[in-house]
Structure 1
């Protein structure tokens, strides 16, 4: 029996082109943005977010992040060509022309803005565009090649997605939304710097002053530890004084925070150990995912009912014992 070929050479070429454009968006970076957006929406709606609004906001957030990442690839195509891990990307490899990437990014941004404006509100749409501007203008253009604190200030771009989610649900930005922003903002340096420690040779090759390149592994590890110490009490602000999360989330936040601090302290003991840096980087991703899961589960009505009933039973039992 003769083999059947399901794709023609033309189709395979089309798939390759689509794959290159998909690669420009850096899809692996987008997932965490969507998780933090969804968590913010669940909390803002007290666990009862409208499914259509959730879907549209997440799709729009993915498009906005994809636009920002594509522009980042456009701007960094010169250094990407030199760095070993990025030399095969579509722009430095010549598979996509620079002007084509800009048109693609523009289309993504306009679509994201339109969707949020129509299905949510202008505030959330404007915040999504602000995220693109901060990432491109503040981080990529201004700070990345000029300051070892680039990821600290530029990290504000990655902290905007929960603001978008909160605004999409409520139409405003109250204090809990800004606490969510602060959590992502403080989490970003101890998340990114371990990765920078692993690939600092690449950054040094293209004169990008990441903290490990400028100050070395030891001072970077100490900075990471300090940020993990600040992160733990920051996460608990949602419990008090914001009162938008309960003790279930609080327990999750404390447990994850202690684990983060322990791993950061372990890195200080051997700052040059690539395995410890890699383990810390991987844990930082797991940390944010589980923190958001804990926040979402805590906000669900069924969870709140269960906790209220459990608290009532405990109070009754204590009263009987007394």
Structure 2
């Protein structure tokens, strides 16, 4: 290799700069993948409320404000859960565990994101949307993280409230109020979280047990978790079908309902497959339901968007 080629290759081998690593650590605290999933439910709610496309400025303001709010909640979650994260293999590389970010810096970052999100939503959308965002941050950071997650097997159900809050925030950003279609979509996202997160908890059951987190798959039998996952999958689909009669005046019709039935069938069948594997014994493969649940929700939200604008 010539000296010239060596010099050209050197930049590619250089480690990331300290600034880049620091920025990456702060971004990691916000849990971007979770934020993406939350925002998937915000846009359909806004489009349903607007009976089409809301203004671009309102859409961007709501998404940025929602991103900041979700990021704030996740930062506080990482701050309060840093003792648990040290014990779980899945979370041992989080910035507060590795020392990439200090607890004090993370706490300040969380408050900055909180204030930024609430102020942005209040100034550019509606006071109701800003209030809902503030309430969701408090609920997730304090009630869920510090109380429910550590002390009850029903933490997923309690945590489902802030998890579905982006629907209400998106609707309120457009209308300044809440209505039954928003409640129904909120109900869909709420119910969906049980089989979704229980499947993940089944996969990492030993991790949660090591940290003494009483997730349902840790404290209940696999058969019980499987049966409850089936129940909540059915309930998710049932609630999703309520959107047709409730939101008919908002443009929801067969363009949404037919995909909702087909997607719901896929989701329910996969939950039954998990239960069947549990009954047979051996490998349960819970992540199959986990991945199907993500596709189900994303495609269901697409169906809402398409039917709202077509």
- Bucket of the pairwise TM-score, normalised by the shorter protein: over 0.9
Partners of 2:207 and 2:198 in 1: CA distance = 14
- 2:215 aligned to 195, 207, 210, which one? 210
Where does structure 1 differ by over 4 angstroms across 4 or more consecutive aligned residues?
A: 4-7, 272-275
Shift of 1:67: 0.5
Partners of 1:26 and 1:188 in 2: CA distance = 17
Q: Which has the higher helix share?
A: 2
- 2:89 aligned to 84, 88, 107, which one? 84
- 1:193 aligned to 182, 198, 214, which one? 198
TM-score by length of 2: 0.93
**Residue of structure 2 in register with 1:167 after alignment:** 172
CA offset digits 1:150-198 (Å, max 9, x no partner): 0011210111001000000011001111111111111110110000000
Partners of 1:46 and 1:21 in 2: CA distance = 37
Partners of 1:57 and 1:273 in 2: CA distance = 46
Aligned residue runs from structure 1 range 31-46, under 5 A: 31-46=36-51
- 1:254 aligned to 261, 264, 276, which one? 261
1:94 aligns with 2:103: no
TM-score by length of 1: 0.90
Partners of 1:87 and 1:276 in 2: CA distance = 24
1:225 aligns with 2:234: no
- CA RMSD of superposed structures (Å): 1.7
CA offset digits 1:86-118 (Å, max 9, x no partner): 111110111111010011111111111111111
CA offset digits 1:109-133 (Å, max 9, x no partner): 1111111111111110111111111
Partners of 1:182 and 1:75 in 2: CA distance = 28
Partners of 2:291 and 2:235 in 1: CA distance = 20
- List alignment gaps of at least 5 residues for structure 1: 304-322
Q: How many residues align?
A: 301
CA offset digits 1:190-209 (Å, max 9, x no partner): 11000000000000001100
Kindly name which structure, 1 or 2, has the bigger radius of gyration based on alpha carbons: 1
